Amino acid sequence: MADGEYVLEARGVLKIFGNHVALDTVDFGLRSGEVHALLGENGAGKSTLIKILTGAYQPDGGGIYVDGAEVSLDNPLHAQTFGIGTVYQEVNLLPNRSVAENLFLGHQPRRFGFVDFRRMEADARVLLANYDLHIDPSSELGTHSVAVQQIVAIARAVQLSGKVLILDEPTASLDRNEVERLFEVVRGLKAKGLAIIFITHFLDQVFAIADRVTVLRNGKLIDTRQLDALSRTDVVRLMLGKDIAFSGATDVEPSETPDEVLLEFKSYGRRRSVLPFDLTIHKGEVIGVAGLLGSGRTEVARIMFGADPADQGEVMVNGKPTSLRRTTDAIRHGFGFCPEDRKAEGILGDLSVRENIVIALQGKLGWFRALNRDEQLEIAGRFGEAMDIRAASLDMPVKLLSGGNQQKVILSRWLATDPAFLILDEPTRGIDVGAHAEIVRTINRLREDGMAMLVISSELDEVVAYSSRIVVMRDREMVAELRGKNINPGVIVQAIANHTDEAVA
Amino acid sequence: MKRFQLERLANPQLLALVAVLLINWLLFPNFFRITWQDGRLFGSVIDVLNRGAPVAILAIGMTAVIATKGVDLSVGAIMAVCGAVAATMVVAGYPTPVAVIAALSVGLVCGLWNGFLVAVLDIQPIVATLVLMVAGRGIAQLITEGSIVTFNEPSLIFIGTGSFLGFPMAAVIALVLMIAVTLLVRRTAIGLFIQAIGVNRAAASLAGIHSRMLLVLVYALSGFCAAIAGIIVAADIRGADANNSGLWLELDAILAVVIGGTSLLGGKFSIPLAVVGALIIQAMNTGILVSGFRPEFNLIVKAGMIILILMLQSPLIGNALGFFKRDTRQAGSK
């Protein structure tokens, strides 16, 4: 390896927090004109490495080299002057300002000391045209989709730095088409010779776009490899150091004698939300819900849970007609719901892991049958262990846990109520591979224990692996129900895309 | 467990209270002198307890409201309304218990109204309670017909100026209320639910907490506390002054809660520490008064002290002195 080969290089980088070694003499090299995926479980050291490469952290050992020359990056702004720019998962631009202002904030073209809006918007139009983005630069950024905002963020980063672009989980909140759009932009930048670091949890996307991959595990460099020589299993094995259970999609055998019926929804729906649907759910059954973002998947979950009450149709629980007007009705019948947006609707960030786990059970017990601290610790400890929640203490605020552990906390919260029916909305989104496997294992275990579940997921392989049946949503309508051994991702994609309902068995 | 209790006593609020009292003592050597006279205690410290009681009582309800990420600006006005109700009723010849129960009910209704606006109509708390903050004084003036209603009913006056075991009645009421409400929220799950709503109302509702009902009750509690404070103040001056009773006390109550370590962003809270906050404020007021500063300096000195206390609680300084941080974290969680 010649010195000049890399635009950006880390050699033997060491970072220690307290007595925890976050990065243990890691080497990393980035060539111009490549998309380099950085992979690892949460806590593997990806973000620490990125923060060192962008100057947010200072390394405790080793060095950073730009074009072969050692540099010391004081802060992200300083890193920008070396051509290194970053786009984070949550777009950190100003949604209430115009697109043009966001592109040029801090570098606005001036005239007589005032911002020259006309020139700024003209420049913005030219700049965005490079990204095939034809939007009005004077429009508010917040009115555009997240994908467009991401592209604006990328345009800003490239404009300001222009040599190295770091994309930190840019696709986490995008749907399939938007991801493709973003990838076109990335490919265009790559063709222009930019060096791009791409961080994601989605292996599909790594294979779709990356040239090389670097895998970190527990702060150590595992390997850097050319991607075309690797299979998915190879990559997962590098990340985990072992094979994971669900990598091969195995159909769940439909039991010969279906268990007793738990729930029956008849023409159940809500105006302007979901068209009426019929669905019968048996005990010990996992219903997978597939469909594109915005197809009404989450809306179905919220109606079933009473978070948005239905305004038509009827529902029977254990054969008895009932109504689910609010979440407490559903919970009384033994329902549980893990929402899609963990941060906004799931966790109680400032409260402890213990309180987060017992809250639903306590809600069920009511105001005056309070669990005391010892009971809370016992329950939280039991589920924490069963779900393998990695928290330094059950009394630490839940917001300090990683995404995967937070998801396990919310799952534990409902398992503590001993539910009969669990609704999981994207339970594995944005969490690391280890937690992912743990949650899939839990779903399988609960099904075997006879719990009924409704699981919404964008990961088709995963839905196929654990579902007894799959319903497909399209345009706020339940358009197909797939069952039996012929469930596979191909058929689901067909059902999502198809406009005739009979096409699938 | 014993050690833990001792550590909890060494929190910044109690240290600040001790510091303020010590400064008062340095400026006014007789500050700690307590005498026994006519079957009751007299002295500057007793005066702090007595004068601090109304704000302490407001702070009890305000803590719960702020813990839900709300605020109740109307408590000062509710004090005026309830004082007016109690005064006009005894003047009209009703017995004291009836007048007091009527005043408490009016406070409760005012609180329910705030709760309705916040929880059911989803109006931002600061705006919702602003309505009654402004309208309340008008209502109080309508009740008193624009004059200061004075009365001489001894049993009502006793609530404001009487004594129990030598301690001023107002302070005793505040203490009993503090213990009762603290036990209510800590021995039941209500405290946990209040925190959950304050931290993330959407998540709390999805977890099966009746957030709407709880919010209404929290504002009702605040209105009820304001009614008690209003009756005490009216009884103390033997009259209901619609314009000045409880004026600006909502701000003192909010300050007491904040000094008590409860964040305006909701979540963890401590009612006893809010009461300590109220005592800190009153100790400063009394100290400035007895030490003979020119009154023009009062507000400035008070502001300076408050800045100091809040600085001690800021995360930045808390990190530097790890000690404080740990304590504020534990303060609310029991």
**Interchain contact, A359 vs B334, CB within 8 Å:** no
Q: Distance between CA atoms of B279 and B50, rounded to whole angstroms? A: 10
A498: helix, coil or strand?
coil
pLDDT value at residue A496: 73
Identify the helix (H) or strand (E) that includes residue A199: strand A195-199
| Gyration radius (Cα) of chain B, Å | 20
The residue assigned the tokens 């049946």 is: A469
pLDDT value at residue A460: 77
Residues 6+ apart with CB under 8 A from A316: A263, A264, A266, A322
Closest chain A residue by Cα to residue B200: A348
The DSSP bridge pattern shows strands A452-456 and A421-425 to be parallel
pLDDT digits (tens, 9 = 90+) for A322-332: 999 999 999 99
Smallest CA-to-CA distance from B256 within B233, B281, B232 is with B281
The residue assigned the tokens 């709300």 is: B70
Q: Which CATH architecture has domain B11-24+42-333?
A: Orthogonal Bundle (1.10)
pLDDT value at residue A129: 87
Q: What percent of chain A has pLDDT over 90?
A: 30
Partner residue opposite A345 with nearest CB, options B187, B206, B334:
B206
Residue A201 neighbours by CB distance under 10 Å: 22
B69 inside 8 A of chain A by CB: no
Query: Do the Cβ atoms of A423 and A299 come closer than 8 Å?
Result: no
- Output B117 or A349, whichever has higher pLDDT: B117
Q: Distance between CA atoms of A225 and B133, rounded to whole angstroms? A: 68
Q: What percent of chain A has pLDDT over 70?
A: 91
Smallest CA-to-CA distance from A39 within A235, A246, A245, A247 is with A235
Average pLDDT over residues A361-384: 91
Residue A275 neighbours by CB distance under 10 Å: 17
Partner residue opposite A347 with nearest CB, options B187, B203, B333:
B203
pLDDT value at residue B317: 67
Which of B199, B263, B328 best probes binding to A when mutated, by most A CB atoms within 10 angstroms?
Answer: B199
What burial class does residue A393 get, using C-beta atoms within 10 Å of its C-beta: 0-12 exposed, 13-18 middle, 19+ buried?
A: exposed
pLDDT value at residue A502: 43
Query: Do the Cβ atoms of A149 and A106 come closer than 8 Å?
Result: no
For A284-338, the three-class secondary structure string (H helix, E strand, C coil) is: CCEEEEECCCCCCHHHHHHHHHCCCCCCEEEEEECCEEECCCCHHHHHHCCEEEE
Query: Do the Cβ atoms of B46 and B94 come closer than 8 Å?
Result: no
Q: Distance between CA atoms of A1 and A6, rounded to whole angstroms? A: 9
B203 inside 8 A of chain A by CB: yes
CA B86, B87, B90, B93 torsion: positive or negative?
Answer: negative
Cα atoms in the Cβ-side hemisphere of radius 13 Å centred on B113: 19
DSSP state of A140: B
Q: Distance between CA atoms of A2 and A289, rounded to whole angstroms? A: 51
The residue assigned the tokens 């990056």 is: A73
The distance of A28 to chain B (nearest Cα, Å) reads: 34
Structure tokens at B64: 């719960």
**Interchain contact, A347 vs B193, CB within 8 Å:** no
Q: Distance between CA atoms of A167 and A209, rounded to whole angstroms? A: 12
pLDDT digits (tens, 9 = 90+) for A182-221: 898 899 899 988 999 998 877 778 888 999 999 988 788 9
Residue A449 neighbours by CB distance under 10 Å: 9
A329 inside 8 A of chain B by CB: no
CA B277, B281, B286, B287 torsion: positive or negative?
Answer: positive
Partner residue opposite A331 with nearest CB, options B187, B193, B208:
B208
Chain A residue numbers with beta carbons less than 8 Å from the beta carbon of B267 are 350-351
Cα atoms in the Cβ-side hemisphere of radius 13 Å centred on A242: 6
A204: helix, coil or strand?
helix
Smallest CA-to-CA distance from B76 within B230, B220, B215, B217 is with B230
A298 inside 8 A of chain B by CB: no
Q: How confident is the model at residue A3 (pLDDT cuts 50, 70, 90)?
A: very low
B221 inside 8 A of chain A by CB: no
pLDDT value at residue B16: 84
Partner residue opposite A370 with nearest CB, options B188, B205, B206:
B188
CA B2 vs. chain centroid, Å, equals 29
Region of residue A315 (phi > 0: left; psi between -120 and 50: alpha; otherwise: beta): beta
From residue B61, give the alpha-carbon distance in Å to each of A401, B14, B163, B217.
33, 20, 24, 10
What burial class does residue A21 get, using C-beta atoms within 10 Å of its C-beta: 0-12 exposed, 13-18 middle, 19+ buried?
A: middle
The pLDDT profile of chain B, 334 residues, written as one tens digit per residue, is: 444 455 556 677 888 888 888 988 888 888 888 888 888 888 888 999 999 999 999 999 999 999 999 999 999 999 999 999 999 999 999 999 999 999 999 999 999 999 999 999 999 999 999 999 999 999 999 999 888 999 988 999 999 888 898 899 999 999 999 999 999 999 999 999 999 999 999 999 999 999 999 999 999 999 999 999 999 999 999 999 988 888 899 999 999 999 898 888 888 999 999 999 999 999 988 888 887 777 777 788 778 877 887 777 676 766 665 544 444 444 333 3
Residue A497 confidence (pLDDT) above 90: no
Q: Domain A259-334+419-500: which CATH class?
A: alpha beta
Specify the CATH superfamily of domain A3-96+140-243. Answer: P-loop containing nucleotide triphosphate hydrolases (3.40.50.300)
Residues 6+ apart with CB under 8 A from B250: B58, B62, B72, B73, B74, B75, B76, B77, B133
pLDDT value at residue A244: 43
From residue A228, give the alpha-carbon distance in Å to each of A195, A225, A334, B24, B304.
18, 9, 48, 78, 67
Q: Distance between CA atoms of A390 and A405, rounded to whole angstroms? A: 6
Q: Distance between CA atoms of B327 and B334, rounded to whole angstroms? A: 11
Partner residue opposite B203 with nearest CB, options A345, A365, A370:
A345
pLDDT value at residue A504: 40
A352 inside 8 A of chain B by CB: yes
Query: Do the Cβ atoms of B31 and B44 come closer than 8 Å?
Result: yes
pLDDT value at residue A294: 66
Partner residue opposite A350 with nearest CB, options B189, B208, B267:
B267
Residue A492 confidence (pLDDT) above 60: yes
Structure tokens at B188: 């039941």
A228 inside 8 A of chain B by CB: no
Structure tokens at A125: 């139009």
Chain B residue numbers with beta carbons less than 8 Å from the beta carbon of A368 are 188-189
What burial class does residue B291 get, using C-beta atoms within 10 Å of its C-beta: 0-12 exposed, 13-18 middle, 19+ buried?
A: middle
Query: Do the Cβ atoms of B212 and B58 come closer than 8 Å?
Result: no
B183 inside 8 A of chain A by CB: no
Query: Do the Cβ atoms of A185 and A106 come closer than 8 Å?
Result: no
Tell me the domain boundaries of chain A. Answer: 3-96+140-243, 259-334+419-500, 345-418
For chain B, the three-class secondary structure string (H helix, E strand, C coil) is: CHHHHHHHHCCHHHHHHHHHHHHHHHHCHHHHCCEEECCEEECHHHHHHHHHHHHHHHHHHHHHHHHCCCCCCCHHHHHHHHHHHHHHHHHCCCCHHHHHHHHHHHHHHHHHHHHHHHHHCCCCHHHHHHHHHHHHHHHHHHHHCCCCEECCCHHHHHHHHCEECCEEHHHHHHHHHHHHHHHHHHHCCHHHHHHHHHHCHHHHHHCCCCHHHHHHHHHHHHHHHHHHHHHHHHHHHCEECCCCCCCCHHHHHHHHHHHCCCCCCCCCCCHHHHHHHHHHHHHHHHHHHHCCCCHHHHHHHHHHHHHHHHHHHCHHHHHHCHHHHHHHHHHHHC
pLDDT digits (tens, 9 = 90+) for A70-112: 888 888 888 888 888 888 766 678 888 888 888 888 778 877 8
A327 inside 8 A of chain B by CB: yes
Residue A306 confidence (pLDDT) above 50: yes
pLDDT value at residue B324: 44
Partner residue opposite B206 with nearest CB, options A327, A364, A395:
A327
The distance of B60 to chain A (nearest Cα, Å) reads: 20
The DSSP bridge pattern shows strands A312-317 and A320-322 to be antiparallel
ipTM metric? 0.84
pLDDT value at residue B6: 55
**Interchain contact, B192 vs A327, CB within 8 Å:** no
The distance of A411 to chain B (nearest Cα, Å) reads: 11
Residue A245 confidence (pLDDT) above 50: no
B204 inside 8 A of chain A by CB: yes
pLDDT value at residue A434: 81
Chain B residue numbers with beta carbons less than 8 Å from the beta carbon of A369 are 189
Residue A359 confidence (pLDDT) above 50: yes
pLDDT value at residue B9: 62
Query: Do the Cβ atoms of A388 and A408 come closer than 8 Å?
Result: yes
Q: Which of residues 439-478 of A touch B (CB under 8 A)?
A: none
